[in-house]
Structure formats: structure tokens, C-alpha cells
Amino acid sequence: MTEAGASAREWPLWEVFVRARRGLSHGHVGSLHAPDAAMALRNARDLYTRRQEGVSIWVVPAEAISASSPDEKDAFFDPAADKVYRHPTFYSVPDGVEHL
């Protein structure tokens, strides 16, 4: 299995996004290894949509994703904690508007 171990290290990591239904957005479902984008799409089909989970798949090289760092959590997210006025809860919603 040393060969398999070596190829696992060489194959890049891909993040997989699946859209469950028309009208929804793609959601992140997991990651996988693949030698290129075409194979990544196919592996994603086999790993993440075998129980009819989706109608569309995106694969993105994991290294192409810029992620926020846990160290930045305080500066990034905590200031939003007390800004209740950012939530649209100060309006009265007219009758008949269901999906606001």
C-alpha cells in the first residue's frame, strides 16, 4: 500500500459543493482527492450524490479557497453580536407576504 499512500499525497484536495434542488444554492458537503477537475467531478458524483442528494456539483481546488482564520474570529464576527438593528425585525410585515 505504499504506492497508494504516495499517490494520496500527490493528488490535490478538492472541496465539493452540491445543489440539492433547483432554486437552492450550492452547499459545501465535503472534500476529496482527485488528479484533476474532471476526475474530481466524477468522484464527487460517486461520493456525495449516490443517494440523489443533488442536481448540480461544483468542485473547487481546496488551495484556491481563502479562509478566515480562527485567530481573526474576535475582529471578524464578535462586533456583529450587538447590532440588532441589522436584523429586519423593526418593520411590520404586510399580510400576504409569506417569504420575507
Q: Which residues bind another protein (CB under 8 A)?
A: 3-4, 7-8, 11, 32-36, 38-39, 42-43, 45-47, 50
**Residue 95 CB, nearest approach to another protein (Å):** 47
User: What is the rounded distance in angstroms from the CA atom of residue 44 to the CA atom of residue 31?
Assistant: 8
**Residue 43 CB, nearest approach to another protein (Å):** 4
Q: Which of 89, 23, 54 is nearest to 46 (CA)?
A: 54
The size of the chain, in residues, is 100
**Residue 40 CB, nearest approach to another protein (Å):** 9
Q: Which is closer to another protein, CB of 9 or CB of 86?
A: 9
Q: Which is closer to another protein, CB of 28 or CB of 73?
A: 28
**Phi, psi angle pair for 21, to nearest 5°:** -145, 160
Q: Which is closer to another protein, CB of 38 or CB of 93?
A: 38
Let me know if 21 is exposed, middle or buried by CB neighbors in 10 A (0-12, 13-18, 19+).
exposed
